[in-house]
Amino acid sequence: MKKRPGLASMTAIYRRELLSYVTTPTAYVFVAVFLFSIGLFTFQVGGFFEARRADLSAFFAFHPWIFMVFLPAVSMRLWAEEARSGAIELLMTLPAPTWALVLGKFLAAWTVAAAALLMTIPLWISVNILGSPDNAAIFTAYIASLLMAGAYLAIGSMMSALTPAQIVAFVLAVLVSFLLTALGLPLVLDFFSGILGGGVSEALARFSIMHHFDAAQRGVVEFRSVFYFVSLIALCLGFNALAVDARRGG
């Protein structure tokens, strides 16, 4: 009658969470606003046509900034809503490991982000019609973007576990995401360089999401960047699980 309990629980949580995204306006609004924003930034701000290059650099360049705001909106409800409605008591009295609950919810949110990214594929096709882009580089950038989306969602999920108020979870997630993203900006690096010296500023830059996404969006696969995103996801989800488990302490 039973299969591997942790995996079965994770799959059940994943399916329920995904169902709640598609049966409420959240996912649709997110995907629509994401597509509108990315279009606006790519064509109006990024000068996609003016660049006269068959690549998607104008498209990928804005991903960190757009994800930073939109993905916390997707993840803010993951745990905060459970705490507000009291359903967290139901979840935590089921014999499911905490990691299965955390991972199931996270993967559902990541699926929504992946669906949004998939819907930008027509842009990739268009570039192929207009010229001869480096498709391997674009593919790499998509994978990096998906990993980066996972990192922002993991931050959001962790923040959502800290408060029963979705709006507080959203603000905290945007704040932490902004700090981690902005650390890689030359302006911020120069500021820290002036105060703490070049070495510290360079070290700080290595913790920046922007720093690791930069190389990937040019099509360069760096193991350390993949490691960075995977580690960031694992770290945030680990803290997420600890925050959920801490509820048992009262």
What residue ranges bind another protein (CB under 8 A)?
1-5, 8-9, 11-13, 15-16, 19-20, 23-24, 85-87, 89-97, 247-250
Distance of alpha carbon 67 from alpha carbon 177, whole angstroms: 9
Least Cα distance to 184 among 160, 155, 169, 204 occurs for: 204
Q: Which is nearer to another protein, 18 or 58 (CB)?
A: 18
Q: Which is nearer to another protein, 53 or 247 (CB)?
A: 247
Contact 40, 120 (CB under 8 A): no
CB atoms < 10 A from the CB of 113, how many? Answer: 25
Q: How far is the CB of 15 from another protein (least distance, A)?
A: 7
Contact 33, 118 (CB under 8 A): no
Distance of alpha carbon 228 from alpha carbon 42, whole angstroms: 26
Q: Which is nearer to another protein, 218 or 247 (CB)?
A: 247
Q: Which is nearer to another protein, 101 or 176 (CB)?
A: 101
Lookup: tokens for 22: 């598609």
One-letter amino acid identity for 44? Q
Q: How far is the CB of 82 from another protein (least distance, A)?
A: 9
Q: Which is nearer to another protein, 112 or 189 (CB)?
A: 112
Q: How far is the CB of 77 from another protein (least distance, A)?
A: 12
* Dihedral sign for Cα atoms in the order 69, 42, 112, 136: negative
Q: How far is the CB of 55 from another protein (least distance, A)?
A: 42
Q: How far is the CB of 19 from another protein (least distance, A)?
A: 7
Contact 163, 246 (CB under 8 A): no
Q: Which is nearer to another protein, 9 or 157 (CB)?
A: 9
Q: How far is the CB of 38 from another protein (least distance, A)?
A: 28
* Dihedral sign for Cα atoms in the order 236, 116, 59, 227: positive
